[in-house]
Chains A and B, each alone.
Chain A
Amino acid sequence: MTYLPPGLPAPVTEADRLDLPYWEGTRQGVLKVQRCGACNTWQWGPEWLCHHCRSWDMRWVAVEGKGRIWTWTRCWHPVHPALKNHGPYLAVLVELPHAGNVRMLGNLLGDPQQEVVIGAAVEAVFEPHDEAAAPYALVQWRIA
């Protein structure tokens, strides 16, 4: 069971493989973001070098899938054919305080009409899409 109906575009690793460790991690139930080996700066999304000290030594670090809601939207208008007649759904931008406050987007699981509170604690849930031509897993969030 996936949060959104089938037919949305499937994520694939970039041709240059910059984000390969992230997508490999989500399939194994591990959430990885970048951290600079030289200055310890956290970085998300991925980039080739550290935005703080310009080191090329960017490492992939497993982080605990816990965060808090930084902002959100409840989407009503179906902008994609797969969402037609689906009804509203929630997207949350989650901040990870233990990983330099990097933010990542996901859906907030549960009732799409639920009240959403900025600052609420959430935890990651890995959502497998094993049926895809190139299987992947999304990172979703539920109230902790």
Chain B
Amino acid sequence: MTSDTRSLRGKVAIVGIGETTYYKHGQSPEPEFKLALMAILAAAEDAGIDPSDIDSFASYSNDRNDPSRLAAALGTKELRLSNMQWGGGGGGGAAAVGNAAAAIITGQADIVVVYRALAQGQFQRFGRAAAGGTVSGDNALINPYGIFVPAQRYALKFMRYTHEHGIGREAMRAIAMASYHHAQSNSRAVMYGRPLTEEMYDSSRWIAEPYRLFDCCQENDGAAALILVSAERAKDFRHPTAYVLAVAQGSDHRNAARSFNAPDFASSSFGPVAPHLWEMAKLGPGDVDVLQSYENFTGGVLMSMAEHGFFKPEEANEFLALENLLAPRGKLPLNTSGGNLAECYMHGLELQIEAVRQIRGQSTAQVPDAHVAGVIAGPMVTPVSTMIVGSQETL
């Protein structure tokens, strides 16, 4: 049991959000480190704080932009926490917030920025393998067979899941179309002005079956940042407060067993993680007003939602009808900024920002009276992470 003293619930708030312009991959005119600085300054301005008062930094996925260099560049008065979530790539987005919140609650940090920056033109892309050479360890059992990138690895998971649970293409398509639909009202979105139709989805090329082009996230350049402080301090800030109600991270039994030998391989990895989330939040899936769920691939969203209890696997085809997923009045509006598919693949941190906007009432696809917003970070990896933010009314 999580006792009240061993809980994040309501003790930390997100008081600033910021992002750079979002670009297609390789098209940022700015280098990655500068993008990180720009996002952090934007978040500080949104919060109304002096950027040099940020004393702590938290990120994930081996972000290349080192907190000590950021602190020197920003004129940080005092550096208190330099924190990196270990492993899981984009699965660490909510965990980075949780780690930051834990540091605040335990007195190790006061003002934390959670950030992520990517300039994939400057650096290696996720979706393309480097040429030649040799591989060892787990990769030696996989790469020589032409399996390299996440789309392929996670196609294997979801192919099995569709077999076990009879998942139809329409459910995957609805997830993609929800993101694209919401991006059409969001001028920050890379796919703003580029709507997706059923015909476009159905006729799009295969990447790795069962994933078509529109089942796969973009790769983008940009940066995003959130500023966290204790709930006591949060009252002094200018926007309606978004409180962290719960964060959970981890994965299931032997998830990383080599050569795809995880016992529950055909999953999003949230099986044992989601119950911790609901327990800490003192909420259930039915209490969530709006959901941001990381789309590396549509199949990952579907499994994440099922493992969080939004529906049973055999209910997926019915639940994932497009009208259920659209703001403002759908049963569970999903990825209301356009998400990784259509706003920007900011490695999921844009989803955290969108959850805060929903709680503030500032989304471009606002859900009326949104008080509880879920954010599920990158699925199918290990560790994964997930979080709930809520308004003042939820405390």
Contact B156 A44 (CB under 8 A): no
Contact call B152/A79, Cβ cutoff below 8 A: yes
Q: Which residues of B contact A103 (CB under 8 A)?
A: 259-261, 265
B:232-288 near A, CB below 8 Å: 254, 257-261, 265-266
| Residues B128 and A79 in contact, CB atoms below 8 Å apart | yes
Residue among B141, B142, B145, B266 with the most chain A CB within 10 A?
B145
Among B47-55, B82-90, B112-120, B132-140, which stretch is in contact with chain A?
B132-140
B266 touches A104 (CB 8 A): no
For A58-86 the 0/1 string (1 means CB < 8 A from B) is 00000000000011111111011111000
What are the residues of chain B within 8 A of A107 when measuring CB–CB? 145-146
Q: B131 near A71 (CB under 8 angstroms)?
A: no
Point out the residues of chain B lying under 8 angstroms from A7, CB to CB: 131-132
Would you call A121 an interface residue if the criterion is a C-beta within 8 Å of the partner chain's C-beta atoms?
Answer: no
In the bound complex, what is the Cα–Cα distance between A72 and B132 (angstroms)? 25
Within the complex, which residue of A9, A74, A75, A77 is in contact with B134, where a contact is CB–CB below 8 Å? A9
Number of A-B contacts (CB under 8 A): 138
Given contacts A23-B140, A79-B151, 7 further A-B pairs with CB under 8 A are: A11-B135, A45-B138, A51-B254, A71-B265, A77-B207, A91-B147, A93-B260
Within 8 A of A (CB), among B52-71: none
Considering the chains assembled together, what is the distance between the CA atoms of A72 and B367 in angstroms? 39
Chain A residue with Cβ nearest B161:
A71
Name the distance in Å between B176's Cβ and chain A's nearest Cβ: 17
Identify the closest chain B residue to A106 (Cβ): B145
CB distance B208 to A118 under 8 Å?
A: no
Given contacts A71-B160, A76-B207, A77-B207, contact A8 B146 (CB under 8 A): yes
Size category, A interface: 35 or more
Contacts of B139 in A (CB 8 A): 9
The contact of B152 among A75, A81, A82, by CB within 8 Å, is: A75
Contact residue among B127, B134, B142, B155 (Cβ-Cβ distance under 8 Å from A105): B142
Say yes or no: is A144 at the interface (Cβ < 8 Å to chain B).
no
Question: Do the beta carbons of B136 and A14 come within 8 Å of each other?
Answer: yes
Task: Tell me which residues across on chain B come within 8 A of A14, comparing CB atoms.
Answer: 136-137, 140
- A93-119 to B contact mask, C-beta < 8 Å, 1/0: 100000000111111000000000010
A38: which B residues are within 8 A, CB to CB?
A: none
Tell me the complex Cα distance, A50–B67, Å.
39
Judge whether A104 and B163 touch: CB under 8 Å: no
A137 to B217 Cα, complex, angstroms: 35
Q: Is A53 an interface residue (CB 8 A)?
A: no
Contact, CB under 8 Å: A73 / B136: no
| Residues from chain B with Cβ under 8 Å of A75 in the complex | 146-147, 152, 155, 207-209
Whole-angstrom distance from the CB of B209 to the nearest CB of chain A? 4
A10 proximal to B (CB < 8 A): yes
CB distance A118 to B259 under 8 Å? Answer: no
Q: Which residue of A is nearest B216, CB measured?
A: A77
Q: Is A29 an interface residue (CB 8 A)?
A: no
Q: A77-B207, A79-B128, A93-B260 are in contact. Are A12 and B134 (CB under 8 A)?
A: yes
Q: Which residues of B lie under 8 Å from residue A102 when comparing CB positions?
A: 259, 261
- Let me know if B129 is at the binding interface, CB within 8 A: yes
Verify if B144 is at the interface (C-beta below 8 Å from A): yes
